[in-house]
Structure 1
Amino acid sequence: METLDLFEMRANCIRQRVMLCFNGPISRSLIEEIGHALRKYLEDAEASPGGAMDVFAVYVEMTQNIRHYASKMNYSEADGAATVVVSRDEQGRYMISVGNLVEAPDAERLLQRIQQLAALDKAQLKAAYKEQLRRPRDADSPSGAGLGLLDMARRSSEPLQASLQPMPDGRSFFCLRAVFANA
């Protein structure tokens, strides 16, 4: 087994201004604990209450989506693992980045939906959110990419960014990033 270079990992985290980082299986209690740490960090950094709430709400939505997807797909603990990073750049913007394994067709649909949302301005996102609220829930449609994704897009100060890394097993490693300038 390769020796873990914690000093280099720490240097990378400092250089990239990482506040919180987690990689592994994600449970409801873990989402809660990381959420408490995130709230404390935002409080200590004197983030605006509204901005801090946006960061926290998007963190919760992202991580719960990963957890629900892994459960729905009956992924093993290893396959259901997530990578979660919260960082702050030189301009003071907070960024939440998450990644997880997703079945390739689901990943493609999700990527397309995020690209569609990225093309909308704040007024259009608000209108789409209200329209989605009024729609009856389709029991046959796959969960996800509905209200939660719209809410994340509305709360983020920049368009959501997503990418896919194809895996040899027919799945993709899906990455999603939200940026918050007003926190």
Structure 2
Amino acid sequence: METLDLFAMRESYNRQQIMLCFNGPISRSLIEEIGNALRNYLAADHANPSSAMDVFAVYIEMTQNIRHYAKVRNWADQEAGATVVVARNDTDGRYVVSAGNLIETADGEALIASIEELARLDKAQLKARYKEQLRKPREDNSVSGAGLGLIDIARKSSEPLKASLQTVANGRSFISLSAVI
């Protein structure tokens, strides 16, 4: 195993104002524990209560989506891992919630297209899209949610969502999503 330079990692995290970072298999209980730590960090940081709620909600939505996707795919822990980072920008006081995971490339391309479409909408259009999606009937055999989560993340974000897709191997890619709160 390669020797870790923890000091360099620490310095990098401090420069980037990273409050929380996780990489590995993610379970329901781990999502909850990290969520509790995130709440404590936000409280210690004296975050605006509304912003803190939004940061927490976006973290929960992103991590639950990752867990759900891996579960539906019946992936092993190594494949089902997530990388989650929450950082604070001192210049404007906003928070950046980022998450990434392995995904089938075709699913990733479709998700990137959805994210890019949402990024072009303003707040009023996002609200209308959310209401429209809320009224749509859900398919009985659907393996995913009602499609509200991504729209809700976009609504909570103060900037358009940013996403990228990196091809890995075997028809899979790594998708990264960031929201600025």
- TM-score when normalising by structure 2: 0.96
* Alignment-derived partner of residue 37 in structure 1: 37
Q: What pairs up with 1:36-75 in 2 under 5 angstroms?
A: 36-75=36-75
Deviation digits for residues 89-127 of structure 1 (CA, Å, limit 9, x no counterpart): 132210011010000110000000000000000000000
Judge conservation of contact 2:167–2:174 (CA < 8 Å) in 1.
yes
2:105 — aligned with what? 104
Structure 1 stretches of 4+ with a deviation exceeding 4 A read: none
Question: Is 1:153 aligned to residue 123 of structure 2?
Answer: no
In the other structure, the counterpart of 1:168 is 169
| Alignment check: 8 A CA contact 2:134 2:146 kept | no
RMSD across aligned positions (CA)? 1.2
**2: CA distance between counterparts of 1:64 and 1:168?**
24
TM-score, length of structure 1 as denominator length: 0.95
Q: Which amino acid aligns with 2:61?
A: E
Q: What is the aligned residue count?
A: 180
CA contact (8 A) 1:113 1:145 kept: no
Deviation at 1:140, TM superposition (A): 4.3
What does residue 20 of structure 1 align with? 20
Structure 1 unmatched runs, 5+: none
Partner Cα distance (1:124, 1:100) in 2: 28
Please give the alpha-carbon distance, in whole angstroms, between the structure 2 residues aligned to 1:127 and 1:157: 17
Contact 2:138–2:146, Cα closer than 8 Å, also in 1: no
Q: Secondary structure of 2:169's match?
A: coil
How far has the Cα of 1:157 moved from its partner? 0.8
**Alignment correspondent of 1:131:** 132
Residue aligning to 1:121:
122
- Matches of 1:159 and 1:138, distance apart in 2: 29
Call closer, same or farther: CA 1:81–1:145 in 2, change over 3 Å.
farther
Please state how far the C-alpha of 1:139 moved relative to its aligned partner. Answer: 3.0
Q: CA deviation at 1:146?
A: 0.8
